[in-house]
Amino acid sequence: MKNEQHTQVITWERTDLCFQSSSIFKWSAFALQLEFKCGSETIHLDGFWSGDCNWTARFAPTHPGIWTWVSHSQDSAMDNHQGKIECIAPNTKQKKANKNLHGFIRIPKDEMHFQYADGEPFFFLGDTLWAINTLRCGLGEKENGNFFSWLKDRKQKGFTAACVQFFRRLNQSNEGGYPFPNNTDDNGIFTHLNSEFFKHLDTRMNHIWDAGLVVAAHPTWFGKAQGGMTNISSLDAQLITRYLLARYGSYNLIYSLSGEYQHSYLDMPNPWTRSDWQKLGAMVNKWNVYNHPVSIMPTGIQEGKSSLSSEANSGSSAGEFHQEAWLDHNWIQTGHRLSLMHLIPKTIKENRNHLPLKPVIQSEGWYEGFEDTNLFVQCNDSHIRWQAWVSYLCGAVGYIYGHGDVWGYFSKLDDPNPKDISTEKKEMLDRGLNAEGGISLSYLRQLFDQIAWWKLKPRQDLISTKGLLSQEANEWYLRVPYCAAAPGELYVVYYPLGTGKKRKDLLLKSGYEYSARWFNPRDGSFENIKMPRLDKNGKWDVPVTPGALDWVLVVENNHELKNL
């Protein structure tokens, strides 16, 4: 029996316990397990190989108290070590400085939103940076690399989630080299994992944690060469997944089995089956010891292939996997075209109607700066606002933004060396980080921080607008208002471009006095509205918007009226 030193940590903060084996094991041997106990709670963790004879167990205590631990290993040099970890609760100042100290993300029972472990609702606003763990998104010699520029900007703008791949491609390195040095050409061999590569991912993950952001992550794209790998067996994918969950399960994660999983059916030399994904999901259930939310990202609707089943071609994880126990929320991808934007409310509604109820993330729509090559139209800030506001008001638990210049700069495959980047390309990155659509989302976040957004539910039945060509968005018509409400408490209505001067009615719950404001989603400003006294039916003829562009109506309950 080997006794270890007593240590002290804060709840939810990671601590690494380091071990040395008597001989070198393969990374995939999982030669170390630890058991942690505190009161009635027990957590069983895999240790992970961290180079040579070194193994690490990464632990995050979930509540205050004295945690005792014991190691188990087939190697006597790592077996039956014991120790204690004293865990103290974070104070108010610490929790304010780092939202992650509110605890890991959960889905409350019978609810359609995320919340931290301590019950505080989590507003999911994500930014896409699939290539976060590459030289193009480098750390720099003095923490002055592009990674830090991106993280600082996104935190300042109010993004709450970093949407990443743990490794972009097998032939894209970070500061520590390639993830699998003997496999940079997609040869299907994963026997040699490079721990130095993942140490630099550790650094990125630590800084994201310190910034208070949650990580929404795929391992990679299983089944797509342009962004992942195609020559991988389902067994190797399971081993890689287990390693990643052992190494990063103690961070605040929302986990996806893979990006655009349907490519495994179409682009693999030895195609996967639905059963392969079901098995991987079941194994994730076993390895996901902190019960992070789990889903899987689908391909976009515009990528639909006739050879796929209708369930696999739905643009949603729900098509094939909604009933799976491992899937507790759905990701949807509607695609990168103007003519596909109308599918956002439709697909969110369809997913929210599936039983059992599971929250929905709009994981990828039309990225800002991307061109719709069918119409020669570029996605701009107005398209981003429409996608985001409509997603939230139609009941999505989260929206993930992306910009073509950020995505293209970091993901450029033929120029991985950050030392040879032209001024033009650097301007490309700056342009992406400072794009108007991303700025608009910062104002959206500011408004939602001021209201009880988690109480809102889609309520299109409460609004009507005269003179619309259609009461539902379609391929060529997006000028439809969208409403979410907690009747009697809070109403939020998004009025897109072209609806401002039309007659608008909003049905409010009678018996209350309300205050109303126009919110400008382009600059974050408010304009108060003088409301008339409502009749017993609560119908209100909403005034004309302050301008011709898109506006948001916010109506809040002041107090209950007496003797109406």
pLDDT at residue 369 tops 50: yes
For the chain, percent of residues with pLDDT exceeding 70: 95
Q: What is the pLDDT of residues 433-446, one digit of tens each?
A: 999 999 999 999 99
Task: Say if residue 5 is exposed, middle or buried (CB neighbours under 10 Å; 0-12, 13-18, 19+).
Answer: exposed
pLDDT, residue 305, reads: 66
Q: What is the pLDDT of residues 474-529, one digit of tens each?
A: 998 999 999 999 999 999 999 999 998 999 999 999 888 899 999 999 999 999 99
Average pLDDT over residues 271-297: 98
Say how far apart CA 17 and CA 2 lie, in whole Å: 13
Q: What is the pLDDT of residues 1-34, one digit of tens each?
A: 466 656 789 999 999 999 999 999 999 999 999 9
Higher pLDDT, 422 or 436: 436
Query: With bands split at pLDDT 50, 70 and 90, how would you rate the model's confidence at 428?
Result: confident
Mean pLDDT of the chain: 93
Q: What are the start-end ranges of the H helices in 361-403? A: 381-393
Say how far apart CA 224 and CA 272 lie, in whole Å: 12
Average pLDDT over residues 133-137: 90
pTM reported for the whole predicted model: 0.96
Higher pLDDT, 472 or 42: 42
Query: With bands split at pLDDT 50, 70 and 90, how would you rate the model's confidence at 416?
Result: low
Query: With bands split at pLDDT 50, 70 and 90, how would you rate the model's confidence at 563?
Result: very low
pLDDT, residue 564, reads: 39
For the chain, percent of residues with pLDDT exceeding 90: 82
The conformation of residue 47, written as its DSSP 8-state character, comes to -
User: Of 126, 134, 206, whose CA–CA distance to 162 is shortest?
Assistant: 126
